[in-house]
Amino acid sequence: GIAIGIDIGGTKIAFGFVDEQGEVLAKGSLKTDLTVSPSEMLGRVADALKQLAEQQQLSLEGIKGIGVGAPGPLNTQKGELTCPPNLKSWWGFPVVEELKKHLPFPIKMENDATAATLAEKWIGAAKDSEHFIFITISTGIGAGIFMHGKLLTGSTGNAGDAGFMLVDQAGTPWENVASGTAVARQATELLGREVTSKEAFDLAAQGDPQMSELVNRVFTSIGMGCVSLINILDPNKIVIGGGVSQVGDPLFSAVRDYVSQNALNPSGREAAIVPALLQQDAGLIGAAALVQQAY
């Protein structure tokens, strides 16, 4: 059967039809319009999905269910978004109940990073692992935990919110140090002009001393976060995705070095640190995975 995937984000909502092999059959997206109500916005998504099905001659009869990936903090028991910082007008909104009104299929909702974790297990970089952690380093930092062959979701679906690990005495969350947003902010402060995260990494690669120091600090912070997660959860693999992972080898080498020297036990030091395989459509495929894969 075919699954509908819906990936709700602060800038856009991606949606589409995904088959049992993880193939995207048809997709679309709508800009998240924060000037209209969440129910209006979800009505538009449902209409767009129906239109897409018609265009592609996909019968809605054969739909197995709908998977929804959404930013946390959320409550998957209640089917609502609790207080995601980039979707303030959606706080407390019953997403699952509302979608059911438009599309009469079974619905599963999980945190977006948790959904992406299942996608990496399904058709991505963690097919071979029963114990791994997925980390996405982008606007913020998100993560998902897959242990003993199952997703670890927690009591309300917020397990793995690693971006909120506190990394110093002041209570600074990890993502305020090591996300793309945090790199851009620190680089901008240091150079006294607007600097993007990509530019900061590029300047560091070219040998700029201030940017090299910043980037090394950020790589160390990413390594430290990985070591903490490895020490707590004992995975054999860490999959890293998100915009910042595009930096590629300098980041992966630095994190591998840090982990191989600092994880507490020898098996943890050997955990594989690998890039995510799913880039394009990762959110959409992750959402559909919630329907296509048992978890």
Q: Does 197 bind ligand ADP (CB under 6 A)?
A: yes
Cα separation values, 44 from 98, 166, 287, Å: 12, 38, 18
**Which residue of 144, 235, 242, 268 would you call a contact of ligand ADP, by CB under 6 A?**
242
Q: Does 186 bind ligand ADP (CB under 6 A)?
A: no
Q: Does 180 bind ligand ADP (CB under 6 A)?
A: yes
In the complex, the smallest distance separating the C-beta of residue 105 from ligand ADP, rounded to whole angstroms, is 26
In the complex, the smallest distance separating the C-beta of residue 233 from ligand ADP, rounded to whole angstroms, is 23
Token pair of 162 as six digits: 């690693």
**Which residue of 131, 185, 198, 217 would you call a contact of ligand ADP, by CB under 6 A?**
198
* Closest by CA position to 29, among listed 6, 63, 2, 62: 6
Question: Which residues in 255-272 are b (16+ Cβ under 10 Å) and which e?
Answer: bbebbeebbeeeebeebb
Choose between 103 and 203: whose C-beta lies nearer to ligand ADP. Answer: 203
Q: Does 174 bind ligand ADP (CB under 6 A)?
A: no
In the complex, the smallest distance separating the C-beta of residue 173 from ligand ADP, rounded to whole angstroms, is 15
With CB under 6 A, what is the number of residues at the site for ligand ADP?
A: 14
**Which residue of 94, 154, 243, 250 would you call a contact of ligand ADP, by CB under 6 A?**
243
Q: Does 32 bind ligand ADP (CB under 6 A)?
A: no
Residues at the interface with ligand ADP (CB under 6 A)? 138-139, 180-181, 184, 196-198, 201, 242-244, 246-247
